[in-house]
Amino acid sequence: EPEVTQTPSHQVTQMGQEVILRCVPISNHLYFYWYRQILGQKVEFLVSFYNNEISEKSEIFDDQFSVERPDGSNFTLKIRSTKLEDSAMYFCASSEPPDGNQPQHFGDGTRLSIL
Amino acid sequence: KQEVTQIPAALSVPEGENLVLNCSFTDSAIYNLQWFRQDPGKGLTSLLLIQSSQREQTSGRLNASLDKSSGRSTLYIAASQPGDSATYLCAVFHLYSSASKIIFGSGTRLSIRP
């Protein structure tokens, strides 16, 4: 069964540094998402992306964050100047058109640790 | 603003028992509701998706129900096995927000004792 793949599985970064988290969505999906889960807390929506632009973003997704689909297969989340509170699991998801009947398929996540 | 609540936060039962996990949501205007499984340190595996027009969905030993009017869903697991131990997340796909995000509950951590 097709999978969403994320790399790296664990990223350790110094506070203030830039980090890029990478995702390869399922090949025929056109809708992409990033979520995060701070340890012990709920999974939270960050951003959705379709047709090379952001379709919705949460209040968490401030100017430090950006997303990009640099080529036909990758979908990236960049955090420009990381803060301690950015430490979390970051999940990428993809789906077919969200008509209410299409589940979002999630990757295994990238654990981001900010020191 | 949609809020999704799951009770209990943790549950431990002996192997073989049937069990029910509960989910409630505050705004009934949803597109669908999904139940996910999350193993420690892993991603989210979609178990069942119930469309807003449906009352229940079944997959193997799992049965999920949806009562939109009361804002409730249940996940029934029959004949539980140790391999069912995981965190189970309920999530709603909200109708009046942009149809592109899921709102998650905080999960029920299930432990099946051999």
pLDDT of residue A99: 66
Calculate the alpha carbon distances from B34 to A52, A93, B55 in Å.
27, 14, 13
- The band of B1, judged by pLDDT with boundaries at 50, 70 and 90, is confident
What does the pLDDT read at residue A104?
A: 85
Question: Would you state the pLDDT for residue A98?
Answer: 67
pLDDT of B48 strictly over 90: yes
DSSP B15-33: TT--EEEEEEES---EEEE
CB atoms within 10 A of CB B108: 21
Does position B23 have pLDDT exceeding 90, yes or no?
yes
Beta-ladder partners of B24: B5, B72
- Name the stretches of chain A with pLDDT < 70: 98-100
Using the Cβ of B68 and the Cβ atoms of chain A, whether some distance falls under 8 Å is answered with: no
- CA nearest A6 in B: which residue? B43
Q: Which residue has the higher pLDDT, A16 or B41?
A: A16
Percent of chain B, pLDDT > 70?
A: 95
Distance, in Å, from the CA atom of B56 to the CA atom of B39, rounded to the nearest integer, reads 24
Write down the pLDDT at residue B35.
Answer: 96
Q: What pLDDT is attached to residue B99?
A: 47
Q: What is the pLDDT of residues B92-105, one digit of tens each?
A: 987 655 546 789 99
Q: How far is B15 from chain A (nearest CA, A)?
A: 26
What percent of chain B lies above the pLDDT cut of 90? 75
With CB atoms and an 8 Å threshold, state whether A98 touches B106: no
Neighbouring-strand partners of residue A23: A6, A75
pLDDT of residue A73: 85
Q: Which residues in A lie closer than 8 A to residue B105 (C-beta atoms)?
A: 42
pLDDT tens, position by position, B69-85:
999 999 999 999 999 99
